[in-house]
Structure 1
């Protein structure tokens, strides 16, 4: 899955597993059109060979690169998505419409991610159908994108993604924008409207859950038992519209609402159905950015509030909303980000804290929770360093916690899961002067995640002697964007 903040320099964007998590940690592949099983790793090999031996044809693929004629470093820290530079943020806010030259171009692109996942101890059960209990290789993502300028003020980022985990092809993140620049006296800025299918997809900061670190992570390894709704709880299952404005490159405000898509539509695009939002779920975002000689500092916040019904099945076996009371979720988030770039060196730091208050009228009445009122909290912190946009290292820490509820969470009833990660990256064509920049986009990543606590426990987390460290995960990936 990819990143709607993909910008001028490339036509890809990572859609993290976190982006496609629902509010209770159950991951799914973001939306899909056709249920079809595709061949496996040969696709990545063919694409790599094609890129190496047929560079002239490769020029016809990357939509944003063809449209702007800019190197990836113009829009991305590390010359690869999704970390956006100041210029990259402006490109997205202007609706992906910036263009160089008068020629017409086809706004299409593609991405492949091949990965390998190893956990410190084999899992008790296979993580997904068709895989083993450990040491799994998979074609994690194969995506095509409609991405670029449609008219002077309208642009689009839309993605369809196939994953070997699930074997389905369907819709992923989507962001259709209308945007205009304005000037009033001594003030200038950008205003626009975004139609998208996931709160925070429209955001331009990498603290937003849709685009936050990890940009890619293992989908065949254990993860947090639960996270707030803001972490993809409506991803791919709703449609929303928001109006946004940036003033003087400093203030950014956005407000809108989301409503559920019909079960029949979601079935056609294989997006899953975790419950129906009652009415409109309001969403708001605000941030302030201080410009610095070699970077910037931003501080802001998020708000998401929704009522959601439970899911049942009709006589045909299709998932439908259950009549009756609904559960209420209210998320409030605070975030901060910092960027520094000078010469060959680049540094970014991001922090996000989200608190969710729950009133589980439907779940509690149905016997699915011990308490009517519950809460969840999530804290994420990461820092990245890049040298010549080619060599990168990232350190990150995460804490997911909340109130105890044995029936809701199982195990010992606590979602408290904590850990750290380190990742090393190599972009062989990351520099602006690299061979075939910006159309040759390859990233190698080695990521290690270790857990200091899982479901509030360090030892015997499953009642069968498994420790939190048994879930430590080594994850290697090759990411290609063309």
Structure 2
């Protein structure tokens, strides 16, 4: 069972056997778009830490909870934006094979993303964030994050709040905290370098392959609760939008989220949790080579997560700290019966944490830590365990995003340098591929220019 992460929808191997095999990806994210700034009349720093997404300020969280509908009287009516990401990726030691068709074993430059957005208010209570993305890695244009939401405010004797309904295509993409897997650090990362061999299903395994409806409520600006369910989309539809089909979900997959925030003198602190219960079958290929669902038993994945977030704002300074732990229990009836797992039962654990410091919302530094572990299974994971641990450091410069920035609020830019170090990869420190490669040989330097219009 490999979940690898990406900045766009998964393009996975069609003929996998066993669990939802590796997509050569990084956490795919939706991002800040200038159409929101044009609609609200606010600079990007009003909604986003560092003046660029996806880290949200308190104001940004409320804007999303209210369905992207806040609008000034003279705001333009076309909620359209675009985004480009050009990147350079270098691993400490060249990879044994090119990471994707058309690229070299090392020192790769690519147009990582070119996205178009429909993002903003559609009516008084209805708003949308919809993204279509082209990536040079894969060479295809497909759908990306979709979040269509209806929201209203209410007041009662004891509490005032917000309630809403969201139609989306990925559990956690509707969340407003940067501990959610769809929004956690790294907010963008290399898709042409190795990454964790396995993570729980909550880390994007259903992204772009499902449609779901969830309802949410926020009470008194403190308690946030969300619950709903997801169903698989048909393989034929997913081919039309250039997304993968990695197995049909059995019935409705329930998802739930609960969080509580405390307002502090200069910021906030949040504690919360996640739950996902998915049953999914295996895939095969039809005569034309397209992925189809196979009849038979399902594999079951039960994910439970705990998260915490802290945000502090001072004069010209801002600090954020985010942490997420997810434990997944697996019952692999389908994969075990197919002979692709040694054991019927297994587990995965993921612990991710990050801390960011920003000065004047222009210069930022982020330190990230990650530990992805799992039960031993030589058939699921080579060479036997998925355990992968490491750290990353990112330095960013955002020259725009302020109220007085050049072309505000039409354009925004982030320049970033990110270095990821692996202290363990696939359960080993040395000889991780049985050919002499060390975990540290996967260390990755990632440079990027991220433009939003």
Shorter-chain TM-score range: over 0.9
**1:417-460 superposed Cα distances (whole Å, 9 cap, x missing partner):** 00000000001124333333332301000000000001111111
Counterpart position of 1:441:
412
**1:128-166 superposed Cα distances (whole Å, 9 cap, x missing partner):** 000000000000000000000000000000000000000
Counterpart position of 1:428:
399
DSSP 3-state at the match of 1:227: coil
Of 17, 21, 31, 2:6 maps to 17
Does the 8 Å CA contact 2:38/2:76 hold for their aligned counterparts? no
- Tell me the TM-score normalised to structure 1 length: 0.88
**1:371-412 superposed Cα distances (whole Å, 9 cap, x missing partner):** 1001000000100000000000000100000001000112x2
**Is it true that 1:415 corresponds to 2:386 in the alignment?**
yes
Does the 8 Å CA contact 1:228/1:355 hold for their aligned counterparts? yes
Q: What residue ranges of structure 1 are gaps of 5+ in the alignment? A: 1-15, 32-60
**Is it true that 1:343 corresponds to 2:315 in the alignment?**
yes
Does the 8 Å CA contact 2:25/2:191 hold for their aligned counterparts? no
Q: Distance in 1 between matches of 2:104 and 2:6?
A: 20
Moved more, 454-463 or 138-147: 454-463
Counterpart position of 2:450:
479
Does the 8 Å CA contact 1:29/1:271 hold for their aligned counterparts? no
Does the 8 Å CA contact 2:26/2:189 hold for their aligned counterparts? no
Number of residue equivalences:
437
Structure 1 pair 394/454, CA: closer, same or farther in 2 (3 Å)? same
DSSP 3-state at the match of 1:469: helix
Q: Distance in 2 between matches of 1:166 and 1:405?
A: 30
Does the 8 Å CA contact 1:281/1:306 hold for their aligned counterparts? yes
Counterpart position of 2:24:
27
**Is it true that 1:238 corresponds to 2:210 in the alignment?**
yes
Counterpart position of 1:142:
114
Q: Distance in 2 between matches of 1:66 and 1:458?
A: 49
By percentage of residues, which structure has more helix?
Answer: 1
Counterpart position of 1:37:
none
Structure 1 pair 18/142, CA: closer, same or farther in 2 (3 Å)? closer
Does the 8 Å CA contact 1:30/1:173 hold for their aligned counterparts? no
Of 170, 180, 189, 2:142 maps to 170
- Tell me the TM-score normalised to structure 2 length: 0.94
Counterpart position of 1:282:
254
DSSP 3-state at the match of 1:331: strand
Does the 8 Å CA contact 1:19/1:232 hold for their aligned counterparts? no
Counterpart position of 1:10:
none
Aligned-residue Cα RMSD (Å) equals: 1.6
Moved more, 208-217 or 434-443: 434-443
1:316: Cα distance to partner? 2.8
Q: What residue ranges of structure 2 are gaps of 5+ in the alignment? A: 13-19
Of 101, 113, 131, 1:129 maps to 101
1:237: Cα distance to partner? 0.2
DSSP 3-state at the match of 1:407: coil
